[in-house]
Amino acid sequence: MSTDPFIRFRDVSKEFPRPDGSGTFLAVDRLSFEIARGEIVAVLGKTGCGKSTMFNLLAGLIEPTSGMVDVTGHDPFREFAYFRGKIGIVFQNDRLMPWRSALDNVLLGLQILDADKMEAEATARGWLTRLGLAGHESDYPHALSGGMRQRVSIARAFAVEPEILLCDEPFSSLDEMTARDLRSEFTRLVKQNGKTAVFITHHINEALEIGDRVMVFHRPARIAYEARMDQTSGEAERRNVQDRILEVLSLERSVDAPQV
C-alpha cells in the first residue's frame, strides 16, 4: 500500500435544487476522507444520508457544489475520458438495459472500451457463470428475478476490471447464502487483483466483514465515525466497534423525525 492517497475528498459539499424552487437541499456537507490504493472501505449510514450521492461525486457523474474530489490526481467530473475503464459501479438498482440480454448487458462496458469481441464475450460469459447465471446468458432482464438482475449488474461492473470498484448495496436483494458466497468472492477478487473498493451497505456485519475500514456517515453526508478493521482484530474489538457504530447511528435523526 502506497502512502499517497488514491482517492481524496476534501471539504466536498453537494447541494441539490429543491423541486419547488425554494432554495437548495444539502446532501453532502463538507465531506473529507482519504482512501489508499488497495483498500476496501465500507460505508454505513442511515437512509438518505448521501451515500449514493457521494458515489456519484466519486464516479464523476455529478459535480461537487464546493470542495475537491481527487482520484489518482485527477478530477473525475472534469476529466471525462481519463477515467474510461478505471471506475466500475454496481448501482443500488440494477440499471440493466431492457433491450439487451443478460450477456449483452455484461458486454456493455467492454464494448464501450472497444475490447476484442471474442475475448469480451468469453470474459462476460465467465462472469455470468461465476455469479451463478450460466444458462441465462440470452435471457432478457424482464425474465430474470431481482437477485439475478443484480448479479448481472455486478458482472457488468466487474467485467471491465476497473481499478476502482464502487458498490452500492450490491448484495441487498440476494438471499443470505448467495450474499455470503459473493461477499467472500468479492473480497478475494479485490484483494487478489489489487483493486480499490468502496462498498455501501446497510448491514453492520457486512461492513465489518468486507471493509478494511468502516466509515459511518452523518446526515447530510459527513464522517460521523471511522474504524480500521484488521485481520487480527479479535472478537472483542469487533464487538466494540459494532457497539460504537450502533450508538452513532442511533444518535442520527431518523428520516421521519421532524427536522429542527
Partner 1 sequence: MIRNRRLRQAFQAAVSTAVLLAAWQFASYFFPHYLFPPVQAIFWRTVQIFIDIPLLIEVLATAARIFGGLFGAFLLGCVLAVVIGRSPFIESYFTPVLVFLQGIPALSWVVIAIIWFHGIEFRILFIMVMTTLPAFTFQILDAYRSMSKDLFEMTMSFRPSAWTLFRVLIVPTIVPGILTAWKVNLGNASRVVVVAELVGATGGVGYQLLLQQQLFDLAGALAWTLVLVLFVLVVQSALVAIEAWALRYRPVSERAA
Residues at the site binding ligand ATP, with contacts judged by CB under 6 A:
16, 25, 27, 45, 47-53, 92
CB of 164 within 8 A of CB of 88? yes
CA dist., res. 126 & res. 129, Å (int): 5
What does 251 interact with, of Mg ion, ligand ATP, partner 1, none (CB < 5 to 8 A by kind)? none
Residues 78-117 that bind partner 1 (CB under 8 A): 80-81, 83-85, 87-89, 91, 93, 95, 97-101, 108-109, 111-113
Give CA separation, 42 vs 98, 152, 166, 197, 211, in Å: 30, 22, 10, 8, 5
Residues 49-78 that bind partner 1 (CB under 8 A): 56, 59, 61
Binding mask 68-107 for Mg ion (x = CB under 5 A): ------------------------x---------------
Peptide bond into 64 cis (omega under 30): no
Binding mask 37-56 for Mg ion (x = CB under 5 A): ---------------x----
Shortest distance (Å) from residue 92 CB to ligand ATP? 6
Shortest distance (Å) from residue 109 CB to partner 1? 5
Q: Helix-strand-coil percent breakdown of the chain, rounded to 5?
A: 35, 25, 40
Give CA separation, 191 vs 143, 144, 165, in Å: 33, 30, 12
The kind and range of the H/E element at 180 are: helix 176-192
Shortest distance (Å) from residue 257 CB to partner 1? 29
Residue 114 or 243 having the CB closest to partner 1? 114
Residue 21 or 98 having the CB closest to partner 1? 98
CA dist., res. 190 & res. 13, Å (int): 29
What does 25 interact with, of Mg ion, partner 1, ligand ATP, none (CB < 5 to 8 A by kind)? ligand ATP
**Strand order from edge to edge, sheet including 87-90:** 87-90, 164-168, 196-200, 40-45, 213-217, 223-228
